[in-house]
């Protein structure tokens, strides 16, 4: 394959999966990267790294701003790899709670097949990278 025919929407991984092209697997890796990445981890793409930690820090406790930044960041990030992105974030934090609860809806179209996917459907179907990271983050296992 020549350099001119490389699909720019492949997701690079530092695993045996190498360059991922499958839409479900790509979205799984993208969500995992989003939760694990540091916004300033590189000088090469300064300000372009999508990071949940950055969203939380930038919003500084303002839940409305957190929702807006999360929606915008995921829209831009997934837009690099998919078409027809729909991102919705809803704050469902209980009134007397010290922990935030956000509900995330993400839908996108795979450009190669034209199939539309939702993140909820993918997370239910797969026990992929993001599911393992979420489990470790939430339960320690």
Contact 101, 90 (CB under 8 A): no
- Kindly report which listed range (4-8, 26-30, 108-112) carries the lowest average pLDDT score: 4-8
In a domain, 1, yes or no: no
Whether 34 is covered by a domain: the verdict is yes
* Domain carrying residue 115: 10-126
What per-residue confidence (pLDDT) applies to 93? 81
In a domain, 27, yes or no: yes
Evaluate whether 10 touches 22 at the Cβ level (below 8 Å). no
Question: Is 28 a member of any domain?
Answer: yes
Task: Kindly tell me if the per-residue pLDDT of 138 is higher than 80.
Answer: no
Q: Are 40 and 49 in contact (CB under 8 A)?
A: yes
Neighbours of 13 (CB within 10 A): 16
Q: Is residue 2 part of a domain?
A: no
Q: Give the pLDDT score at 67.
A: 93
Q: In this predicted structure, what is the pLDDT of residue 1?
A: 43
Residue 137 lies in a domain: no
- 8 Å CB contact between 115 and 129: no
pLDDT of 133 reads 58
Domains of the chain: total: 1
The pTM score is 0.79
Tokens linked to 15:
């695993």
Helix (H, G, I), strand (E, B) or coil at 67: helix
Q: Confirm whether 4 is domain-assigned.
A: no
């Amino acid at each position: 394959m020549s350099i001119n025919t490389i699909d720019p929407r492949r997701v690079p991984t530092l695993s045996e999966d190498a360059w991922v092209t499958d839409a479900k697997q790509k979205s799984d890796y993208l969500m995992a990267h989003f939760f694990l990445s540091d916004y300033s981890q590189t000088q090469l793409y300064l300000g372009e790294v999508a990071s949940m930690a950055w969203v939380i820090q930038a919003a500084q406790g303002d839940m409305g701003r957190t929702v807006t930044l999360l929606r915008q960041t995921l829209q831009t990030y997934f837009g690099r790899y998919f078409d027809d992105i729909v991102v919705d974030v809803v704050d469902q934090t209980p009134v007397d709670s010290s922990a935030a609860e956000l509900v995330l809806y993400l839908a996108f179209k795979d450009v190669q097949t034209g199939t539309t996917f939702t993140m909820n459907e993918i997370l239910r179907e797969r026990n992929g990278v993001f599911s393992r990271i979420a489990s470790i983050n939430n339960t320690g296992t």
